[in-house]
Amino acid sequence: MGYLRNRLLQAVITLYSIITLGFVFIRMMPGDPTAYLRAEIQQNPGAYGLPPNPTLEEINEVMQSQMNYTPGPIWEKYISYMQGAIQGDFGTSVIVDPGASNVQLILEAAPWTIFISSAGLVYGLVAGIVLGSLMAYYEGTKMDVGLTVSMLAASSIPYYIVAILLLFLFSYNLEWFPTGGRFNTDTTPGFNYPFIAGVFNHAALPILSGITIGFGGNALSLRANSIRLLGEGHIRNAELRGLSTYTISTRYLARNAILPMYTGIVLGLAGLIGGSIILEEIFVYRGMGKLMYDATVQRDFPLMTTSLIFTTIIFVAGTLIADFTYSLIDPRAEQSSMG
């Protein structure tokens, strides 16, 4: 109970500190929503129903109707925002979607990010586990050397480079996949084949990019953990029983070698909602990453703060889950903590 209490206290302090610092740093950024909107109106007055070269009074009228944001001391805004957040009111967007609930915008964007991120995480993890265990079992062979070099190369290439290459090859050159978006706009959203097929078609390249991010590092980590276990008795017993190489490498090696990676896997699941800002911007995939990017570029401070709060809560919760459940999958951890 003492460990549980201390971890919960640390989580609360961490959450409060990140939210507070994030609130301050966000509002210390150069520019603010009013400056961004004023520049947008001056550059394209027709989009806001104004004539060319609008007067300052006309611009101010449009700004008052477009947004509910007033500059003021940062401490006043902090107190006001936190009071509302405690009551479940996280405010509204002032630029990205003026007047729309920040929570509603996040709830609409998060499932799309979770979809592509979870697929990339799962496929990357499975591929890393299978390849890593095989590399360890055949340590020192040509296959091990070749796969190790390949995994090092794959893990060293930035994922956004892979995304750009995939987009250039399969979308612009071969035209096999769309260049952006979340679904085919010519279909009716719902549980029907044309819409679902369009969703998977648009998500294919972002998911493939996500797979290339993780499987190389997972394979190398699992290889190192597996090599450490190769000399143990249960592996020798499996070999003497005549079990296949695949069975030994996946059932016996991988199951035990994956334990040190458990925390990272849980944190990866917790980080799904945060998405990848660069990846979603490349594919114009309107998920959480794209939403946070738009909020940052347009200085939508309330939306930026709400996104930070949601992603921080989920990440801290994921850390707690990893800490509290590790002993359930590896009883040795509980025994060592009791000792």
Q: With a cut of 50, which residues of the chain have pLDDT below it? A: 335-339
**289 residue type, one letter:** G
Whole-number pLDDT of residue 335? 46
Rounded Cα–Cα distance for residues 100 and 306 (Å)? 13
pLDDT at 143: 82
Site of tokens 């979308």: 171
**Residues near 24 by beta carbon (within 8 Å), at least 6 away in sequence:** 74, 78
What per-residue confidence (pLDDT) applies to 337? 46
Cβ distance 106 to 307 under 8 Å? yes
Q: pLDDT tens across 11-42, in order?
A: 889 888 988 998 888 888 887 777 777 777 77
Name the residue among 330, 319, 332, 314 with its Cα closest to residue 275.
314
- Does residue 109 contact residue 303 with C-beta atoms inside 8 Å? no
Asked if 208 and 166 touch (Cβ cutoff 8 Å), the reply is yes
Give the chain's length.
339
Where do the domains of the chain lie, and which CATH numbers do they carry?
Answer: 2-62 (no CATH), 104-298 (1.10.3720.10)
- Dist. CA 119–CA 102, nearest whole Å: 26
CA distances from 178 to 171, 183, 198, 235 (A): 6, 9, 9, 48
**Residues 262-278 pLDDT 10s:** 666 666 666 666 657 88
Q: What is the pTM of this model?
A: 0.75
The residues, ordered by sequence, that sit 6+ positions from 129 with a Cβ below 8 Å of its Cβ are: 218, 219, 222, 250, 254, 258
* Token code pair at residue 110: 């998060």
Question: In the prediction, which pLDDT does 105 show?
Answer: 92
pLDDT value, residue 133: 74
